[in-house]
Chains A and B, each alone.
Chain A
């Protein structure tokens, strides 16, 4: 079984709809991240969480919100989806404080906003 899972894997929605992307991990890591990938733009950080009570904005947080329901679960919400939020979304986890600690990524959610 995968260590970091994301649901749904694909989602098509309409402008103005609220949508939630979910991430679960079995690695026991405290740190969790949400990224988006756009063609030709690499990965950009949306939000990150160091533990259940610690949530922080990343580079591109506008239009998004997150919830850390438990150590193992980190959800990303689009309150009112817009077409330029069409992208590939990745959740990631990380074990510790050290810069050298690796981030482990989920398989991604492909979101299309019509």
Chain B
């Protein structure tokens, strides 16, 4: 059973507009959430994270929102740029956990 779900395989957004990528989780033991970005022919790179004690974390154009009651998090990119075109993975971990559970990824295309 998939514990971290990214239900949108792909998303297209116009340059300058907001990109919203969504992620749902089922395991209530998860308390730390991360977003990774992956370009073709490269490994995933860490983008932004949030602890369950917060509901928002911001880093420049990137903001992650966490709704624990709904077991839902989202990544907002504002404004979107063509260089943001990549696959975005949502990942989750429990307290003190040694491993991450990844979603299937969402491919974002930012159209100039």
Q: Which residues of A contact B (CB under 8 A)?
A: 4, 31, 33, 40-45, 48, 50, 56, 58, 90, 92, 97, 99-100, 102-108
Contact = CB atoms under 8 A, between A and B. Distances in A.
A43 B89 contact: yes
A105 B43 contact: yes
A50 B102 CA distance: 20
Contact of B102 (A31, A43, A107): A43
B104 A45 contact: no
A16 to B, nearest CB: 28
A44 B102 contact: yes
Question: From DSSP, what is the main secondary structure of chain A's interface residues?
Answer: strand
A31 B94 CA distance: 17
A48 B93 CA distance: 15
A102 B46 contact: yes
Given A40-B9, A42-B103, A108-B43, 10 more contacts: A42-B102, A42-B105, A43-B100, A90-B44, A99-B95, A100-B49, A102-B34, A103-B100, A107-B43, A108-B41
Contacts of B98: 31, 48, 50, 56
13 contacts: A31-B98, A40-B9, A41-B104, A42-B4, A42-B103, A43-B89, A48-B99, A90-B43, A97-B96, A99-B31, A99-B32, A102-B46, A108-B43
Contacts, number: 56
Given A40-B104, A41-B104, A44-B102, A106 B43 contact: yes
B97 interface: yes
A4 B44 CA distance: 12
Contacts of A106: 43
B42 interface: yes
Given A41-B104, A100-B32, A100-B49, A33 B89 contact: no
A25 to B, nearest CB: 12
